[in-house]
């Protein structure tokens, strides 16, 4: 008896977890522009300590035990025939990809700066990019971080921790950063930034260059629409939340006015049986929170339920962001609850329990020993 065929379009953080969960119940094909999971998480650690980041967030697909039965295809998606239930792509050598499906999970994520791009890359290109970004910041005497979200705050804190002699300044438009989190979170993180010597500058709204500029580390002056004097630094990191959904390959009827994939509370694309979306590309709520909060588990359950004719479960987004903000630090891992309270895993438990057992076995169902950044 043949099994149903599921195409998971995009193997980032949400897509790879959905593929892992579906791999025991269907014939799964995963399509990705990368030859590995290259996570969009923990930008600050990625920039300050790329080897540490690569150990946990750049993982070749063949390291995942539960992907052994998944066929992974490295290609850029170019289109979909919804009636014919087929997706199309293009490999790096220009050859075409045609993959039929019984169910399609759209998890192609978003473009956001130089650290989240949908371009086809080899492992060597990924590694050289990581090193180049790190070395650019290592050589800068001063760094401006523009933005008030988690990526901005994490970057400022991690850069200041890694290079205490650098001048690091964080500029954001509101009276506080991390507005998607409970106010307690910013109070705690803001105190840590000040203790590290980071210049914290609320009420600064930047004159934003064009998309091509903010997608890279820049240098030179930063001007403000809010009237403050021009600021300058050797390197400027734009973490302003200018995300663009990776949906150019999809027909407009599937998208909302901003280009994200419209979904029902069951993460199903309305009007198209067998098509689902999860992660940052799915317009579930203003925070697009199915990228976290076990959205992968829900979409995997609902794909299986749709095959069996069972009722589908609904996704209930949280009202506030939560989780780790600045990544693993020398003294452990701090995790914030939706209430703004935090708890810390000491460093010994992160290396002996959290990463090997909770993450690599609990979340990913087994990850073979990774290789160092090369």
Q: What is the pLDDT of residue 213?
A: 61
Q: What is the CATH classification number for the domain harbouring 316? A: 3.50.50.60
In sign, the C-alpha dihedral spanning 40, 159, 59, 24 is: negative
Q: What is the pLDDT of residue 373?
A: 47
Radius of gyration of the chain (CA): 21
Instruction: Tell me the per-residue pLDDT of 328-337, one tens digit each, with 9 for 90 and over.
Output: 998 999 999 8
Same domain, residue pair 321 and 252: yes
Q: What is the pLDDT of residue 370?
A: 63
Instruction: Tell me the per-residue pLDDT of 55-68, one tens digit each, with 9 for 90 and over.
Output: 999 999 999 999 99
How many angstroms separate the CA atoms of 56 and 305, rounded? 32
Structural domain includes residue 341:
no
Same domain, residue pair 232 and 257: no
Q: How many CB atoms lie within 10 A of CB 353?
A: 13
Over 80: is that where the pLDDT of 374 sits? no
Same domain, residue pair 227 and 247: no
What is the model's pTM?
0.93
Contacts of 131 (CB under 8 A, 6+ apart): 50, 373
Same domain, residue pair 254 and 321: yes
- Reference 144, options 208, 234, 242; nearest CA is 234
Structural domain includes residue 371:
no
Tally of domains in the chain: 2
Same domain, residue pair 177 and 281: no
Instruction: Tell me the per-residue pLDDT of 125-177, one tens digit each, with 9 for 90 and over.
Output: 999 999 999 999 999 999 999 999 999 999 999 999 999 999 999 999 999 99
Same domain, residue pair 205 and 114: no
Same domain, residue pair 189 and 271: no
Q: What is the pLDDT of residue 323?
A: 83
Q: What is the pLDDT of residue 295?
A: 93
Q: What is the pLDDT of residue 209?
A: 81
The boundaries of the domain holding residue 108 are: 5-121+243-325+353-358
Structural domain includes residue 331:
no
DSSP 245-259: ES-TTS-GGGB-TTS
Structural domain includes residue 224:
yes
Q: Give the model's confidence band at 287: pLDDT under 50 very low, under 70 low, under 90 confident, else very high.
A: confident
Structural domain includes residue 367:
no
How many angstroms separate the CA atoms of 88 and 25, rounded? 24
Pairing of strands 71-74, 27-32: parallel
Q: Give the model's confidence band at 274: pLDDT under 50 very low, under 70 low, under 90 confident, else very high.
A: very high
Same domain, residue pair 137 and 230: yes
Structural domain includes residue 336:
no
Last residue of a domain, one of 193, 218, 236: 236
Instruction: Tell me the per-residue pLDDT of 290-300, one tens digit each, with 9 for 90 and over.
Output: 988 889 999 99
- DSSP helix/strand/coil, 332: strand
**Cβ contact 247:9 at 8 Å:** no
Structural domain includes residue 339:
no
């Amino acid at each position: 008896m043949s099994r149903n065929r599921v195409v998971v379009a995009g193997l980032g953080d949400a897509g790879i977890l959905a593929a892992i969960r579906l791999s025991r119940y269907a014939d799964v094909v995963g399509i990705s522009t990368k030859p590995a999971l290259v996570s969009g998480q923990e930008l600050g650690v990625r920039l300050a300590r790329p080897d540490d980041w690569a150990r946990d967030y750049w993982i070749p697909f063949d390291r995942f035990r539960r992907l052994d039965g998944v066929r992974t295809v490295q290609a850029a998606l170019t289109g979909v025939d919804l009636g014919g239930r087929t997706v199309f792509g293009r490999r790096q050598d220009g050859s075409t990809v045609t993959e039929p499906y019984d169910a399609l999970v759209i998890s192609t994520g978003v473009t956001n700066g130089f650290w989240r791009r949908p371009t086809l890359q080899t492992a060597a290109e990924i590694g050289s990019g990581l090193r180049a970004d790190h070395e650019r910041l290592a050589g800068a005497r001063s760094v401006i971080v523009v933005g008030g979200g988690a990526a901005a705050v994490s970057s400022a804190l991690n850069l200041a921790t890694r290079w205490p002699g650098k001048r690091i300044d964080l500029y954001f438009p509101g009276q506080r950063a991390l507005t998607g989190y409970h106010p307690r979170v910013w109070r705690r993180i803001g105190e840590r930034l000040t203790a590290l010597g980071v210049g914290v500058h609320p009420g600064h709204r930047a004159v934003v260059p064009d998309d091509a500029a903010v997608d890279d580390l820049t240098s030179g002056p930063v001007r403000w629409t809010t009237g403050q004097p021009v600021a300058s630094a050797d390197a400027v990191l734009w973490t302003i939340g200018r995300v663009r959904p990776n949906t150019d390959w999809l027909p407009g009827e599937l998208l909302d006015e901003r280009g994200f994939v419209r979904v029902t509370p069951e993460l199903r694309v309305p009007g198209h049986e067998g098509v689902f979306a999860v992660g940052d590309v799915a317009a579930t709520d203003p925070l697009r929170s199915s990228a976290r909060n076990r959205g992968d588990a829900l979409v995997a359950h609902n794909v299986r339920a749709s095959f069996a004719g069972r009722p589908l479960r609904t996704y209930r987004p949280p009202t506030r962001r939560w989780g780790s903000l600045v990544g693993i630090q020398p003294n452990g891992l701090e995790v914030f609850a939706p209430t703004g309270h935090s708890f810390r895993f000491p460093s010994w438990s992160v290396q002996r329990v959290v990463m090997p057992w909770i993450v690599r076995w609990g979340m990913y169902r087994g990850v073979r020993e990774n290789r160092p950044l090369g």
